[in-house]
Amino acid sequence: MTEKELYKRLNEVFRDVFDDDGITVDEYTTADDIDDWDSIEHITLIGAVEDEFSMRFKMGEVSGMKNVGEMAKIIMSRGK
């Protein structure tokens, strides 16, 4: 999977979770950039990303993610 394909899939997940077709994420996107991204929606988002890429994040990975780019690096490192 290329980085472009990865972000295309991530955009679809984000748009679905936050019910906003206008969302476009990149490596620098953080929770501050998306209005409804709070701690509850974060849990929903992580689950949706895990389902989309057939993987599970470790607790330390989830708590350490500062932006979408860090999430993407973890997904890419697992070859999903």
> Where are the domains positioned within the chain?
3-77
Task: Say what the pTM is.
Answer: 0.92
N-terminal to C-terminal alpha carbon distance within the chain: 7
pLDDT over 90 at 15, yes or no: yes
- At 64 the pLDDT is 87
Of the candidates 40, 39, 9, which has an alpha carbon nearest to the alpha carbon of residue 24?
A: 9
Q: What is the CATH number of domain 3-77?
A: 1.10.1200.10
pLDDT band at 80 (very low <50, low <70, confident <90, very high): low
16-52 confidence digits (pLDDT tens) = 999 999 999 999 999 999 999 998 999 999 999 999 9
